[in-house]
Amino acid sequence: MSDHVVDINESNAQALLIDESFKRPVLIDFWADWCEPCKNLMPVLEKLAVECGGAFLLAKVNADEQQMISGQFGVRSLPTVMVMKDGQPVDGFTGAQSEQQVRELLGKYLPKPWDLLLEQAQALCAEEDFGGALPLLQQAYKESEARADIAVVLAKAHIQLNRLSDAEVVLAQIKMADQDAEYNNAIAKLELAQQAGKAPEIEALEEQHKANPADQQVAYLLAVQYSQHDYYAEALALLYGVLQLDLNFNDGEARRIYTDVLAVLGKGDPLAVEYQRKMYTLLY
Residues annotated as catalytic are 35, 38
Strands 88-94, 57-62: pairing kind: unpaired
Residues 91, 97, 102, 108, CA torsion sign: negative
Where helices occur in 144-269 by DSSP H, the ranges are 148-160, 164-172, 181-196, 200-211, 216-228, 232-245, 253-265
Q: How far is CA 111 from CA 3, 25, 28, 46, 54, in A?
A: 18, 10, 18, 19, 11
What is the DSSP secondary structure assignment for residue 207, as one 8-state letter?
A: H
Distance CA 103, CA 141 (A): 24
CA dihedral 55, 56, 57, 62 (to 10 degrees): -150
Using H for helix, E for strand and C for coil, what is the string for 98-149? CHHHHHHHHHCCCCCHHHHHHHHHHHHHHCCCHHHHHHHHHHHHHHCCCCHH
β-partners of residue 28 are 59, 82
CA-closest candidate to residue 277, choices 240, 241, 252? 240
Count of CB atoms within 10 A of residue 20's CB? 19
Q: Are 125 and 144 in contact (CB under 8 A)?
A: no
Task: Report the chain's C-alpha Rg in angstroms.
Answer: 28
